[in-house]
Structure 1
Amino acid sequence: MDLRRLYGRTLLLGLTLLPGLASAVGKCERLVVTGSPDAPPYLWQDPQNPKHLIGASADLLQQVAGELGIKIEMLYAGKRAQALDEVRSGRMDMLADAPLTLNELENLDYIHPPLLENDYLVWTRKGSTLPYSEANDLRGHSGAVSEKSRMTREFGTFAEQQLTLTRTPNLTQAFQKLLLGEVEFVLAGRYSGMAAAQALGMGNDLQTYPQPVDRPGLFLAVSHNSACNDPWLRGQLAKKMTELPASGLTEAVLQRNIERWKSQQQQPASTPKQ
């Protein structure tokens, strides 16, 4: 037998017997990740190191990546649109909090299921008698929502066509309008609303309804132009995302980061920019 052919078969057999070696080929050891810099408790700039992002999304991703033997660097890349541009270009590898949009499927691979689900609740003043059990109940009532909110496309269309909503620059101003009686309700995420209300000292003045009005996912999204985007990475991340809800880790991480954000707001007197 030709020695070169024999050597080739031997090498192929060796690779077959070492699946770990085969799977390691092309594996990235470090991912540069970014996201929204003003979305507590999910992501926000670290006051001690503004070049980095911290929050629940960052903590959960660090936990998952550590189990896969991958190092994560959570970097500030500017406002939401700038962060998206950095990932589209491949200068950064991944978004940690991407909303699922059809347009971005041309640029990003979304990892399913989402890292987190962001329940949007109806917030009212304590003692409000606003009747609510579904989105249609909000018709004819005045509301407010932060222009930074990212809801599902379906609910966004419904809200634009059917609801009376004032868009405010941030969640703080939406809650202020609510307490002043200028609107009857605010649409805000369960945890972002909780973080803002506590940091503003409004926790005892507001109430929520248990039924979410919308539930967009916050996805990990890998750039098509990232050198790290390969089937191994996407498959392993998807497996970890599937396991995460049953781990009980998510709720604990969210609560910890609400307290973290609240503590940071109390050190220098300021208000959330969400």
Structure 2
Amino acid sequence: MRLHTHIVCCLLAVTFFNISTTLAAEEQSLSCESLTASGNSEYPPFLWRETSTSTELRGVNRLIIDELSRRINIPIELIHVGPWSRAQGEVKNGRVDLMAGAFFTNERADYMDYFTPVMLHTNSVVWQRKDKQFPFSKKEDLVGKWGVTVINNSFGQEFDQYAQHNLNILTVASLLQALRMLAADRVDYVLYEKNPAYAYATMLRLSDAIVPVLPYISSEGLYLTMSKKSPCNINSVKYKIAVALQEMKQEGFTEQAVLDGVQEWEARSRKGVALK
């Protein structure tokens, strides 16, 4: 009888532990009542700000984030927190939960979890002055030249590693600064994604002075990521996000968001809003 009682007590203890663990997990899931997100705010038509003082981010990625929020039933606030380097730092330390668009690198994977499928694909190119173009067909053609890009920008693991050991690339805080340096003949080229750089070159009235050249230096997937230090980095939330992204891709929502986001940016550009 004493042995039987002991066994029953052990079974009850195990059962209670399992129930407690389940409840604890559910309570942890319920504690994620909202999410914050940020990204590269100089990235039209994917992300951009209406004015230089606005903290609201608009564009293709905003449309995707808003739909994701609706599908997982968790509010997501997408905001500008500073330059691209600052946004990465805020996600790294967990003060911002999500990054609305980032290329994959091993360094970033140390502090962010990547969701699949990718949100979008984007192409990065070499931008040159039209009146001082040099032959370019491969990354080795950049050796001996001086380039510039935005701080903490990535062009894929392979190109980044090559550039680190072989190329002279300055980094600046903003895309506007980089494009103006090229236009002023202070550098030989700018490295940046084609669509965002073209959008800003047009706004700065530099599209006749600087041009993108082929081939692309990289064609990378743009991922949604979550900070490993985010309090919402729990399996139940990440599962909801992954499922929603997959459904959005299958239903064609992402492709439509690209079309709608491009139209929104073009409409904004036609207003002639000056960049400062």
**Residue aligning to 1:15:** none
Report the counterpart of residue 13 of structure 1 in structure 2: none
Aligned pair in 2 of structure 1 residues 254, 169: CA closer, same or farther (>3 Å)?
same
Please, which of 47, 64, 68 is the counterpart of residue 60 of structure 1? 64
Structure 1 residue runs without a partner (length 5+): 1-22
Is the Cα–Cα contact under 8 Å of residues 44 and 55 in structure 1 kept in the other structure?
Answer: yes
Match for 1:191: what amino acid? N
Specify whether residues 238 and 127 from structure 1 end up closer, same or farther in structure 2 by C-alpha distance, changes over 3 A only: farther
Are 2:221 and 1:203 equivalent residues in the alignment?
Answer: no
* 1:59 Cα offset (Å): 1.9
Is 1:270–2:275 an aligned residue pair? Answer: yes
TM-score, length of structure 1 as denominator length: 0.71
The one of 107, 112, 119 equivalent to 1:108 is 112
SS at match of 1:204: coil
Q: 1:221 aligns with which of 218, 225, 248?
A: 225
**Among the aligned pairs, what percent are the same residue?**
25
| Structure 1 residue 110, shift from structure 2 partner | 1.4
Match of 2:143 among 120, 125, 139: 139
Mapping 1:1-274, distance limit 5 Å: 26=29, 30-47=34-51, 50-126=54-130, 130-147=134-151, 149-242=153-246, 247=252, 248-259=255-266, 262=269, 266-267=272-273, 269-271=274-276
8 Å CA contact 1:94, 1:223 repeated in 2: yes
Please give the alpha-carbon distance, in whole angstroms, between the structure 1 residues aligned to 2:165 and 2:182. 22
CA distance in 1, matches of 2:106, 2:148: 26
Distance 1:243 1:129, change over 3 A: farther
Residue 18 of structure 1 is matched in structure 2 by: none
Q: Name the TM-score, length of structure 2 as normaliser.
A: 0.70
Output the CA distance in 2 between the equivalents of 1:175 and 1:87.
27
- Calculate the aligned-residue CA RMSD, in Å: 3.6
- C-alpha deviation, 1:57, in angstroms: 1.8
CA contact (8 A) 2:125 2:191 kept: yes
Change (3 A) 1:230 1:188: same
Summarize the Cα distance change of 1:212–1:244 in structure 2 as closer, same or farther, 3 Å threshold: farther
